[in-house]
Structure 1
Amino acid sequence: MLKRRLSLLAIAAVTAMLATGAQAAEIIRLATTTSTYNSGLLDYLLPKFEQDHPYQIQVIPVGTGKALRLGRDGDVDLVLTHAPAAEKAFVDAGYGVEPHGVMYNDFVIVGPSDDPAGIKGGDDAVKALATLADKNATFVSRGDDSGTNKKENHLWKAAGVTPDFSNYKAAGQGMGAVLKMTSELQGYTLTDRGTWLAMKDNLDLSILVEGDTKLFNPYQVILVNPERYKNLNTEGARALAQWLISDEGQTLIDAFRLKGKVLFHASAGEAVDPSKAVGAN
């Protein structure tokens, strides 16, 4: 009985030590876009980081606008987003520090295979949106201040169109929900290629417009400024950011495949040619 009691005590002690070790792993709060989440990239990358570092990553997948607001409020430790102008404003205002380019892919315009608006096969996104507005085609927008929504708004502006035609629908939803809605309505939408590839087998849609350099989609990682907030895990955030742009992180990003397709191209430490985003498959 004594030996058994000692064994049980030993097991309890080891269990307690393991539990303490698990609790000791510091949390890194990462606000990022739904595209990095829905595509499966983060499920592929982050366990590899956690395996070799004493951190656990809490992912908050939201639109870029909300991710940057979380950063401005000090509610996350770093952001991984894809809206260069908004990111520059975030850093210039002193909310973000140490921005680094990480990777890129591209946007595409998808819609019904029979393409009633007649934009199929084009490579001019601005012209395609102007046609959709002129024909009052059903267009589903994310309408959520995400990086995709910001890109869409930029393209409408370039087309000289205010998207207030009767069949324009602002969903206020993430990319996955918008693609499902677009498929159900047999409408058109703008999507990042990664989320499209992850979901296309369950959608009744096709890529209709691609290959325009205006659809280039770069991603940056930015630390929230520790001088503004004292509750940040800046050490962990920096470790993750540096890992993402390291040779290991960049190699893993390039190696990530979904159904045999490349979703993201690593781009740290190089001047990225926007034309490299064309095709992305």
Structure 2
Amino acid sequence: MIRRVLAAVAALALAAGCGTDQAAAPAGKELILATTTSTQDSGLLDDLLPEFTRDTGWRVKSLAVGSGQAIELGRRGEADVLLVHSPEAEVRFVAEGSAGPRRLVMHNDFVLAGPAGDPAGTRNQPAVEAMRKIASTGAGFVSRGDESGTHAREKQLWHQAGVTPSGGWYRSTGQGMGATLRVASETSAYTLTDRATYLTQKPPLEVLNEGDKALLNIYHVIEMTRKAGDRVQPEGAKAFADWIVGAKAQGMIGAFGEGKLFVPDAGKDEAALGS
């Protein structure tokens, strides 16, 4: 276990992420949760994890990285359970065979944020058209560039807009959402962000584009199995997955941030979300 924690922490350091420990939790059972920076930066984990520990006795070491990096930790057997928001990458990963069940947890949405003056004229445009206008005008755009779920969605939007972003107007931070919002704010640039982190961080940027189904942001929990490595704890993974889709956790998710940040979705028809 010590070796696995050290390996995961090393991966986290390379990703410039952050971790959350529950030092006051009971000693004994411990699992590693690889999750996204949005669940960390929004404060959601601070609400959920202590309650999970109290209810189950499992202590959690959380590693907040991009969804792509979280999936890689799972692939290497360096995480027991994943809470991620990159659906296409998740489906490919589960098909590889080392992961167990993948279950719907919650959603919020992405928004395109930018300077109040909106130099590219994107306000209230469909998301793809807004991205096309940013590129055609050369207005500044700051990308996470970290293979996170947010970055994956950004790349989808550029592709749909027929744009390969490059040049001085396009900057990649390689960091989490909070840091990327700070850079966009400092440079009066546009960026794609999940709504929860935007509302929590309160950057001096305006939400210019929202409500497009292309901006739906869906989170799943994925249990890892010992096919990923002998160090994986499937019992802990199942305990966490069962708990987060259960009534108590779903109620906490719905109430978090006065109900403005995440929508609980366990048991819903995923195809109907955002319609």
Give yes or no for contact 1:101–1:267 (8 Å, CA) kept in 2: yes
Map of 1:88-99 to 2, 5 A cutoff?
Answer: 88-99=91-102
Question: SS of 1:31's equivalent?
Answer: strand
Map of 1:175-190 to 2, 5 A cutoff?
Answer: 175-190=177-192
Find the aligned partners of 2:68 and 2:235 in 1 and give their Cα distance: 24
CA displacement at 1:71 relative to structure 2 = 0.4
Q: In structure 1, list runs of 5 or more residues that go unmatched.
A: 1-20, 277-281
Question: SS of 1:219's equivalent?
Answer: strand
Find the aligned partners of 2:239 and 2:26 in 1 and give their Cα distance: 19
Q: Which residue of 1 aligns with 2:273?
A: 274
Give yes or no for contact 1:97–1:225 (8 Å, CA) kept in 2: yes
Question: SS of 2:227's equivalent?
Answer: coil
CA displacement at 1:234 relative to structure 2 = 1.2
Q: Which residue of 2 aligns with 1:147?
A: 149
Q: In structure 2, list runs of 5 or more residues that go unmatched.
A: 1-24
Give yes or no for contact 2:177–2:197 (8 Å, CA) kept in 1: yes
Q: Which has the larger radius of gyration?
A: 1
TM, length-normalised to structure 1 = 0.86
Once the two structures are superposed, residues 213-272 of structure 1 have per-residue CA deviations (whole angstroms, 9 ceiling, x without a partner) of 000010000011223322112111111110001111111111111xx4511101111113
Structure 1 residue corresponding to 2:133, chosen from 127, 131, 134:
131
Structure 2 residue corresponding to 1:161, chosen from 157, 163, 173:
163
Count of aligned pairs between the two proteins: 250
Question: SS of 2:228's equivalent?
Answer: coil
Map of 1:38-187 to 2, 5 A cutoff?
Answer: 38-122=41-125, 124-187=126-189
Say yes or no: does 1:194 pair with 2:193: no
Letter in 2 for 1:269: G
Letter in 1 for 2:273: P
Q: Which residue of 2 aligns with 1:27?
A: 30
Give yes or no for contact 1:94–1:225 (8 Å, CA) kept in 2: no
Find the aligned partners of 2:27 and 2:86 in 1 and give their Cα distance: 35
Find the aligned partners of 1:101 and 1:158 in 2 and give their Cα distance: 26
Give yes or no for contact 2:32–2:62 (8 Å, CA) kept in 1: yes
Find the aligned partners of 2:133 and 2:189 in 1 and give their Cα distance: 13
Structure 2 residue corresponding to 1:265, chosen from 257, 263, 267:
263
Question: SS of 1:220's equivalent?
Answer: strand
Find the aligned partners of 2:135 and 2:74 in 1 and give their Cα distance: 35
Find the aligned partners of 1:233 and 1:183 in 2 and give their Cα distance: 41
Give yes or no for contact 2:77–2:229 (8 Å, CA) kept in 1: yes
Letter in 1 for 2:243: W
Once the two structures are superposed, residues 69-128 of structure 1 have per-residue CA deviations (whole angstroms, 9 ceiling, x without a partner) of 000000010110001110001100012111100000000000001111111122x10000
Find the aligned partners of 1:252 and 1:140 in 2 and give their Cα distance: 32
4+ residue runs of structure 1 moved beyond 4 angstroms?
none
Question: SS of 2:105's equivalent?
Answer: strand
Q: Which residue of 1 aligns with 2:230?
A: 230
Q: Which residue of 1 aligns with 2:6?
A: none
- Which range is displaced more, 260-269 or 138-147? 260-269
Find the aligned partners of 1:112 and 1:199 in 2 and give their Cα distance: 16
Q: Which residue of 1 aligns with 2:210?
A: 210
| Residue 39 to residue 242, structure 1, CA distance change in 2 (3 Å) | same
Q: CA RMSD in A?
A: 1.3
Question: SS of 2:27's equivalent?
Answer: helix
Question: SS of 1:115's equivalent?
Answer: coil
Find the aligned partners of 1:147 and 1:105 in 2 and give their Cα distance: 13
Find the aligned partners of 1:184 and 1:169 in 2 and give their Cα distance: 13
Find the aligned partners of 1:245 and 1:228 in 2 and give their Cα distance: 23
- Which range is displaced more, 91-100 or 228-237? 228-237
